[in-house]
């Protein structure tokens, strides 16, 4: 497997007052293989989007490294960064917010190509916009209309067409389906999958809902309060979740087949999500963990590989 992205011990803190930091991302390590989908899941505010933005170099890092195709993202100069954005693009949760309402669909989609000056004439640009619209399942006649004339799912398709305009190899999709109806969610996920196969794309797919993430992801990282608590292949994670937080998240997903008996026990987490400004000592999950032990409040669990390609940070799996 060829690695396209390596994130090592990434920290991103935001200063929120005198001597106070919001620990949005704390010591997170993972990699993404070329051509795969890596799912990043967790409740809102757990640091998923911050990871996406820091990986893309939109945020400076506090510590750690982001290496993309052998290059340190945070050491690129202005020109290198400009070229870097041809390879890495982002799709957002609310496509309408990221689409200028006064621009036509054609303008929205062609903007990145204009900025990068990668077409020879208007005719070539027009042809490319039509091609992109058709690739995302829209019609070329849609080019002269405005984003607000489209449904949520169609707007997300426009956002995807725009992200594809520069022929990127890596796409960060930040909750691309969270605002859509369930039926439309599946269509957008299917489109993303098809495009991945056709174009050999690599995805970082960010979501708070574990059920859709399973369908699209090869491997999944679970985040809680700025920390990655577990990482495994999709199947492995669903069949053998090790971290108590992952177990709770999975227990909340309904079984897809309504005729199947669901005798799983639902794990309800007690208490509120602590503040990332003042996270608990030791294990960040300990204030809500049904399995918490004494050691959990004094020692931070280390990130370890407990079986092949299955990582967890939890004292239940300490070997000594
Ligand atoms: Fe629970 Fe302790 Fe494991 Fe944290 S380290 S998840 S508190 S058992
Ligand atoms: Mg977010």
Percent of residues, the chain, with pLDDT higher than 90: 80
286 CB within 6 A, ligand 1: yes
Query: What ipTM does the predicted assembly reach?
Result: 0.97
Domain membership flag for residue 91: yes
How remote is the CA of residue 285 from the centroid of ligand 1, in Å? 6
143 CB within 6 A, ligand 1: no
Which of 200, 179, 216, 178 has the alpha carbon at shortest distance from 39?
A: 216
Which range of residues forms the domain containing residue 216? Answer: 3-97+168-184+199-254+264-315
Domain membership flag for residue 161: no
Averaged pLDDT, groups of 10, the chain, 320 residues long: 96 93 96 98 92 95 97 95 93 77 92 91 94 97 93 93 96 92 92 97 93 91 98 96 95 72 78 93 97 97 96 94
**The pLDDT of residue 71:** 95
How remote is the CA of residue 175 from the centroid of ligand 2, in Å? 7
Domain membership flag for residue 247: yes
Closest atom of ligand 1 to 245 CA is 6
Domain membership flag for residue 73: yes
Number of domains comprising the chain? 1
Domain membership flag for residue 148: no
316 CB within 6 A, ligand 1: yes
Domain membership flag for residue 32: yes
CATH number for position 80 = 3.40.50.300
> Where on the phi/psi map is residue 35: left (φ > 0), alpha (ψ -120 to 50), or beta?
left
Query: Which tens digits make up the pLDDT trace of 173-195?
Result: 999 988 888 889 999 999 999 99
**Which CA distances in Å does 305 have to 11, 244, 310, 311, 318?**
20, 16, 6, 4, 11
How remote is the CA of residue 48 from the centroid of ligand 2, in Å? 6
Which of 12, 7, 15, 98 has the alpha carbon at shortest distance from 47?
A: 12
125 CB within 6 A, ligand 1: no
Domain membership flag for residue 79: yes
Domain membership flag for residue 113: no
Q: Classify the C-alpha dihedral 132-137-142-145 as positive or negative.
A: negative
Query: Which tens digits make up the pLDDT trace of 215-224?
Result: 899 999 999 9
57 CB within 6 A, ligand 1: no
**The pLDDT of residue 51:** 97
């Amino acid at each position: 497997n060829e690695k396209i992205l390596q994130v090592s011990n990434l920290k991103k803190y935001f200063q929120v007052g005198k001597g106070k930091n919001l620990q949005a991302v704390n010591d997170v390590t993972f990699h993404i293989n070329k051509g795969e989908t890596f799912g990043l899941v967790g409740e809102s505010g757990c640091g998923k989007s911050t990871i996406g933005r820091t990986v893309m170099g939109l945020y400076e890092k506090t510590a750690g490294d982001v290496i993309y195709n052998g290059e340190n993202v945070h050491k690129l100069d202005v020109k290198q960064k400009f070229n870097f954005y041809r390879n890495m693009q982002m799709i957002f949760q609310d496509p309408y917010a990221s689409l200028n309402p006064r621009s036509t669909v054609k303008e929205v989609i062609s903007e990145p190509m204009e900025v990068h000056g990668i077409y020879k004439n208007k005719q070539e640009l027009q042809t490319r916009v039509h091609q992109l619209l058709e690739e995302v399942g829209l019609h070329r006649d849609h080019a002269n209309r405005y984003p607000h004339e489209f449904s949520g799912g169609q707007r997300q398709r426009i956002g995807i067409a725009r992200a594809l305009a520069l022929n990127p190899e890596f796409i960060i999709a930040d909750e691309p389906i969270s605002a859509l109806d369930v039926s439309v969610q599946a269509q957008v996920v299917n489109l993303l999958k098809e495009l991945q196969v056709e174009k050999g794309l690599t995805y970082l797919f960010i979501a708070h809902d574990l059920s859709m993430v399973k369908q699209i992801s090869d491997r999944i990282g679970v985040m809680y309060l700025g920390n990655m608590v577990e990482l495994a292949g999709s199947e492995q994670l669903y069949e053998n979740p090790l971290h108590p937080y992952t177990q709770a998240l999975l227990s909340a997903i309904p079984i897809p087949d309504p005729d199947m008996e669901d005798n799983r026990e639902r794990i309800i987490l007690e208490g509120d999500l602590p503040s990332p400004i003042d996270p608990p000592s030791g294990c960040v999950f300990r204030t809500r963990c049904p399995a918490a032990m004494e050691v959990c409040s004094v020692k931070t669990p280390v990130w370890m590989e407990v079986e092949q390609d299955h990582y967890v940070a939890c004292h239940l799996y300490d070997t000594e």
